[in-house]
């Protein structure tokens, strides 16, 4: 499973999402979105599927589809 989170230091939602992913035990790569042409952040990419915003249900669905299960 490949998870990337495009975020910025100033983004509160980005930090909240990464803390939540840490609590779930999801390993992810954080990518600084400053300078990238993104319309909104955070953007979470799970095995190529992109989710815009801190959308917990959509992220959980994509994680499950990628084979993740909570420990």
Q: Is the pLDDT of residue 69 over 90?
A: no
So what's the pLDDT on residue 70? Answer: 73
pLDDT surpassing 70 at residue 71: no
Q: Which of 53, 5, 64, 65 is nearest to 33 (CA)?
A: 5
CA distance linking residue 11 with residue 55, whole number of Å: 15
Q: pTM of the predicted model, to two decimals?
A: 0.92
Average pLDDT, the chain: 95
Q: What is the pLDDT of residues 18-52, one digit of tens each?
A: 999 999 999 999 999 998 988 899 999 999 999 99
């Amino acid at each position: 499973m490949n998870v990337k989170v495009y975020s910025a230091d100033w983004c509160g939602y980005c930090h909240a999402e990464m803390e939540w992913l840490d609590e779930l035990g999801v390993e992810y790569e954080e990518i600084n979105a400053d300078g990238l042409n993104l319309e909104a952040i955070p953007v979470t990419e799970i095995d190529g599927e992109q989710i815009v915003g801190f959308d917990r249900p959509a992220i959980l669905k994509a994680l499950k589809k990628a084979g993740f299960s909570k420990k």
